[in-house]
Amino acid sequence: MSTQATPSNTEARRAFYERIDRHHLTPLWESLHALVPLHPQSRALPALWRYADVRPFVLESAGLITAQEAERRVLVLENPGLRGQSSITQTLYAGIQLVMPGETAPSHRHTQSALRFVLEGNGAYTTVDGERTLMQPGDFVITPSWTPHDHGNASDAPMIWLDGLDIPLLRFLDAGFAEGFGGRIQQPERPVGDALARYGSGLLPVDYDGRHGVTSPVFNYPYARTREVLEQLRRAEQWDACHGLKLRYTNPVTGGFAMPTIGAFVQLLPQGFETAPYRSSDGTVYVCVEGSGESVVGGERYRWGPRDVFVVPSWTTHHHRPAADAVLFSFSDRPVQAAFGLWREERFDQEGA
Ligand code: GTQ
């Protein structure tokens, strides 16, 4: 078995490294164990953003720039271990987006996939590929790769949501493309609710050919429905020691993840249910939807309440302690890792230990 020791430096070795450096060459044995670690050693750190701290800054930004001028008026949640990289995990980006009453954010499209998790406001809209959806708190909304999308707020209150995108992953792949549409917004081509009725109700059009490809044709998973499912399933009393009652959002056509690069999840943790410690290789962003509690992440305690966001980096042991019935939404790059046979988890409950 290999050790994790790096060979010691000698005068002759150092001189050699210096000479080959000029030829853009470096010795593998100096960096082997960092390149091929025994387990993930993420530079991302556990962190929490309290909504009460973030919200005033987000609202203040509306006095500095319009959604139209900004294109997207967002404050980016930067992982403290990844400052300057617009990343909340190694592969994912998160930000808090604000659309004020009467504002629009112009249409554009990009190869990065986006999810929105609605935090505050009622009835502002996003239009995706010609279909408008009204957004309510707790709704999970998808913008598939390369679909035109714009946002608007015809309500009388600010609309605020969490954006999750695979921006760092696509940057790593050098696969980013984008285009705008002259600062305009789309005119809807189908009625509100069309996609949910057509694809997300246990029915599909009889000759549906799966033309939407790798992303779910449902692009708004309303919280009202999700909450009802959690309430129904809790009656079965089948609690997972590490997750409570945890579900993943799926593409109803394939049963796979709703998005190709981002996995989204929702879980119910009943009051007093302390989860068993757990870790997995997908760094995960959590949002508290309802209730309150705390999570111990890498030995540090993070208390959360509604709309607070926290991040658990890859392979960091954590557990949750809800103080009241709690609902957590979360997302990670799990579909990417799973597609390549890379995803791993470790449970520290009776079964796993
Ligand atoms: O709403 O299209 O937070 O393109 C970052 C990039 C949101 C969006 C973000 C984006 C968007």
Per-residue pLDDT tens for 58-113? 999 999 999 999 999 999 999 999 999 999 999 999 999 999 999 999 999 999 99
- Would you say the CB of residue 95 lies under 6 angstroms from ligand 1? yes
| DSSP string over 35-92 | HS-SS---S---EEE-HHHHHHHHHHHTTT--HHHHSS-EEE---TTSTTTT-SSSS-
Instruction: Count the alpha carbons within 13 Å of 308 in the hemisphere toward its beta carbon.
Output: 21
For 175, phi and psi rounded to 5 degrees?
-125, 25
Tell me the C-alpha distance between 126 and 284, whole Å: 25
Whole-prediction pTM value? 0.97
Q: Whose CA is nearest to atom 10 of ligand 1?
A: 72
pLDDT tens, position by position, 252-277: 999 999 999 999 999 999 999 999 99
Q: What is the pLDDT of residue 7?
A: 87
Strand pairing class (124-128; 149-152): antiparallel
Query: Which residue has its alpha carbon closest to ligand 1 atom 1?
Result: 72
Report the percentage of the chain scoring pLDDT > 90. Answer: 95
Q: How far apart are CA 321 and CA 291, in angstroms?
A: 11
Q: Look at residue 1 and tell me whether its pLDDT is greater than 70.
A: no
Cα→Cα distances 239→36, 108, 275, 304, 348, Å:
36, 43, 10, 22, 15
Partnered with residue 41 across adjacent β-strands are none
pLDDT at position 350: 79
312 CA distance to ligand 1 middle (Å):
22
Cβ count within 10 A of residue 253: 19
With beta carbons less than 8 A apart as the criterion, state whether 212 and 131 touch. Answer: no
| Tens digits of residue pLDDT in 23-67 | 999 999 999 999 999 999 999 999 999 999 999 999 999 999 999
Q: What is the mean pLDDT of the chain?
A: 97
Q: What share of the chain is helix, strand, coil (3-state, %, to 5)?
A: 20, 30, 50
If one residue of 54, 76, 98, 163 were mutated to test the ligand 1 pocket, choosing by the most ligand atoms within 8 A of its CB, it would be: 163
* 170 close to ligand 1 (CB < 6 Angstrom): no
Instruction: Indicate the top mutation candidate among 71, 72, 98, 162 to test ligand 1's pocket, ranked by most ligand atoms within 8 A of CB.
Output: 72
Is it the case that residue 201 has pLDDT exceeding 80?
Answer: yes
Angle at 93 between CA 306 and CA 41, to 5 degrees: 100
> Hey, what domains does the chain have and what are their CATH numbers?
1-38 (no CATH), 47-347 (2.60.120.10)
Confidence at residue 194, expressed as pLDDT on a 0 to 100 scale: 98
Contacts of 340 (CB under 8 A, 6+ apart): none
Q: Is the CB of 114 under 6 A from ligand 1?
A: yes
| Nearest C-alpha neighbor of 139 from the set 320, 334, 329 | 329
